[in-house]
Amino acid sequence: MGWIFILSLIVALGLVYRPLGDHMYRCYSGAKHTAVERGVYRLLGVRPDTEQRWGGYARALLAFSVVSVLFVYGMQRLQDKLLLSLGFDAVPDHIAWNTAISFVTNTNWQAYSGESTMGHLTQMAALAVQNFVSASAGMAVAIALVRGFARRGSDTIGNFWVDLVRGTLRILLPIAFVGALVLVAGGVVQNFTGPHSVETLVGGTQNLTGGPVAGQEVIKELGTNGGGFYNTNSAHPFENATAWTNWFEIFLILLIPICLTRTFGRMVGQVRQGHAILAVMSTLAIASVVLTNVFELAGDATVPQAVGAAMEGKDVRFGVANSATFAAATTLTSTGAVNSFHDSYTPFGGMMTLVNMMLGEVAPGGVGAGLYGMLILAVITVFVAGLMVGRTPEYLGKKIGAREIKLASLYFLVTPLLVLTGTAVAMGNAEGVKAMLNDGPHGFSEILYAFTSASNNNGSAFGGVTVNTPWYDVALGLCMVLGRFLPIIFVLALAGSLAAQKPVPESAGTLPTHRPQFVGLVVGVTVVLVALTFLPALALGPIAEGLL
């Protein structure tokens, strides 16, 4: 069953690969604006036909993000005075700041429980809007980088506002609309009701909150956001009703990051280059999905051995395999939605979710973020491999010189440094350690996971750690901000530097970057870099636990 599930996903993604990839290519390349878009530009006061240098592009993105953070923060703090608050109080300041950052950075780390904290208006106008625009911003950055490769001797890399608006209106909204209908058909709720008290079978009472769930659910997956309407996220039957909505949600998660490789290929004028990048992502992703499944199905830990399967923390309507596949998909992309509890996974199964994020969210990664992260890895690979063919390394005709490798290195440095220093500070600090639920290596894994998730803008939680304390809200909030925007600045600077170059024509002496050889090399470099960076930490966490 698990195999059919995975294979049918691959087939479905294969079917939409070309049409969606081409559609996105046209969206970002066309010169025409729709009437609605023109209205938005007039409202924003931007000139859509003026292109920006990388600095202007970055400033626009940062300004937009700052305003977004303030808006989301404000909405939460004033929630009790707004409509549809369901009677909830204003969100406490540290949680509000953490949540605002979390949604603007496309992380969707949730230090709160959705159904008992956020009113419907906050969910829709603040959080769901960010689910769209933060995703669109990520895609814009990726497109800007691709333009850097595609352009020759240009000092501009596009217009952020145009990319943002088009990504939202032409790509995310239409798919989300259709997707939401599909989810509703599958049993996901979409209403404006407040909490219902329900008597449970065993005689207790339970509060069930309805809400505009389907609309938020679809963009939660499509935009690789991951912030659930409910605390239990995609394990909640109102968010993810059946085995096939589960399939559909994974499909949505992978949809844009996968298809963007086609867009990339079209933009640089060599579709096969997009295929190579897709091949790298797929190799890593399939390996990870298979390994996670293997580890979970083997159930190689004490409790699963005792009860016969690693079912703790997993829902029976999904089962072990489909939960494992969802867990792999959500951590391989920067989604962070969960339909099962990673904390309860077998040590090595849990490690896979960690490793997926440690790869830097590139296989296939978040919308946009996955593509630019992977292109950075390709640049680093090209640099070392290019030397081995006896030329100054070049990728897609652009030379990888000192400036390019500096920006790529800085990009690559950010998240590992945030993850490791963040975890180290937490482990060396009473506030950090006391939040741990478990002791031993597993407790350590929980904290490592929290910082890995925040710094990589994944947003899923291993669970176990009590993270809604001011200390964690601030620490993880910082990881999210730095983990999102520092890399983006480096990517845009790289885009600017690449766009200014004139391409070197290809020859027999050029390292071909579309062959299996190169694909294997990027996979190798990615895995080795991650292994070398995180092996000590992993050894003291999941590996120590698994080998006990």
Partner 1 sequence: MFTVASLLDAFRKLNPFTLWRNPVMLIVEAGAVFTTVLAVVEPSLFAWAIVAWLWLTVLFANLAEAVAEGRGKAQAATLRAAKRDTMARLRSGTTVAATELQQGDVVVVAAGEIIPGDGDVIEGIASVDESAITGESAPVIRESGGDRSAVTGGTKVLSDEIVVKITQKPGESFVDRMIALVEGADRQKTPNEIALNILLAALTIIFLVATITMQPFAIHAKAENPGIADSLALTGDGVSGIVLVSLLVCLIPTTIGALLSAIGIAGMDRLVQRNVLAMSGRAVEAAGDVSTLLLDKTGTITLGNRQAAAFVPAEGVTEHELAEAAQLSSLADETPEGRSIVVFAKESYGLRERELRGAAWVPFTAQTRMSGVDVDGRRIRKGAATAVMAWVGAPDEAVGRVVDGISASGGTPLVVAEKDRVLGVVHLKDVVKQGMRERFDEMRRMGIRTVMITGDNPLTAKTIAEEAGVDDFLAEATPEDKLALIKKEQEGGRLVAMTGDGTNDAPALAQSDVGVAMNTGTSAAKEAGNMVDLDSNPTKLIEIVEIGKQLLITRGALTTFSIANDIAKYFAIIPAMFAAVYPGLDALNIMRLGSPQSAILAAVVFNALVIVALIPLALRGVRYRPSSASKLLSRNLGLYGLGGIIAPFAGIKLIDLLIGGLL
Binding region for partner 1 (CB under 8 A):
380, 383-392, 397, 400-402, 404-406, 409-410, 412-413, 416-417, 420-421, 423-425, 427-428, 433, 439-441, 444, 502-505, 507-512, 515, 517, 521, 524, 528, 531-537, 539-540, 543-544, 546-548
Least separation in angstroms between residue 432's CB and partner 1 is: 9
> In angstroms, how far is CA 242 from the centroid of its own chain?
23
In whole angstroms, the minimum distance from the beta carbon of 528 to partner 1 comes to 7
Q: Which CB atom, from 320 or from 525, has the smaller least distance to partner 1?
A: 525
Give 137 or 419: the residue with its C-beta nearer to partner 1: 419
The Cα angle at residue 295 between residues 331 and 235, in degrees rounded to 5: 50
Instruction: Tell me if 355 sits within 8 A of 347, measured CB to CB.
Output: no
Q: Pick the closest to residue 421 from 411, 430, 429, 410 (CA basis).
A: 429
Q: Closer to partner 1 by CB, 259 or 400: give it.
A: 400
Query: Closer to partner 1 at the Cβ: 63 or 539?
Result: 539
For residue 164, which of 118, 76, 223 has the smallest C-alpha distance?
223
- Of 314 and 399, the one with the shorter C-beta distance to partner 1 is 399
Instruction: For residue 151, give the amino acid letter.
Output: R
Q: Are 158 and 144 in contact (CB under 8 A)?
A: yes
Among the listed residues 103, 140, 534, the one whose alpha carbon sits nearest the alpha carbon of residue 369: 140
Provide the 3-class DSSP secondary structure of residue 332: helix
- Per the CB < 8 A criterion, the answer to whether 234 and 459 are in contact is no
Q: Which phi-psi region, left, alpha or beta, contains residue 301 (left: φ > 0; alpha: ψ -120 to 50)?
A: beta
Q: Which is nearer to partner 1, 147 or 442 (CB)?
A: 442
Secondary-structure breakdown of the chain: helix, strand, coil percentages, each rounded to the nearest 5: 65, 5, 30
For residue 42, give both structure tokens: 């007039």
- Tell the smallest beta-carbon distance from residue 330 to partner 1 (Å): 26
Q: How far is the CB of 271 from partner 1 (least distance, A)?
A: 20
**Cβ neighbours around 380 below 10 Å, total:** 23
386 versus 459: smaller Cβ distance to partner 1: 386
Burial zone of 15 (CB within 10 Å; 0-12 exposed, 13-18 middle, 19+ buried): exposed
Q: CB 336 → partner 1: shortest distance, Å?
A: 23
Length of the chain: 548
Shortest Å, Cβ 353 to partner 1? 19
Please say which residue, 185 or 547, places its beta carbon nearer to partner 1.
547
Pull the structure tokens for residue 293. Answer: 């499944």
Shortest distance, CB of residue 289 to partner 1, whole angstroms?
24
- Tell the smallest beta-carbon distance from residue 282 to partner 1 (Å): 21
> Which one, 205 or 507, has the nearer CB to partner 1?
507
Pairing of strands 195-199, 205-209: antiparallel
Rounded to a whole number of angstroms, the minimum distance from the CB of residue 9 to partner 1 is 33
* Distance, C-alpha 453 to centroid of its chain: 10
